[in-house]
Amino acid sequence: MPDEDNILTDELRKEIDSMSHVDMMRLWRYAPWGHVMFRQGDVFDYWDARFQRLGGITSQVSHAVGWEDQDEFPNVSRNK
């Protein structure tokens, strides 16, 4: 039985498609454990494919995000 929280809906696809490279890096770095974007399955596969198309983890995007922005994490947490 598939994880209903990990189904790639049109809403999640649009959210992922609207994220910038920096937004995606910030989510990767600061998302809480178990975040829907990073569970195995279609959502992560789609997220990761887009992130890789944007360049993946680079020193430039890593420096842009830094390690100090934890309070500025975008409000996209779906940790259940």
Cα of 39 vs its chain's centroid, Å = 10
The pLDDT of residue 68 is 66
How many other CB atoms are there within 10 angstroms of residue 78's CB atom? 14
- Tens of pLDDT, residues 58-71: 999 999 888 765 55
| pTM, 2 dp | 0.76
The pLDDT of residue 17 is 97
- Tens of pLDDT, residues 3-60: 566 789 999 999 999 999 999 999 999 998 889 899 889 999 999 999 999 999 999 9
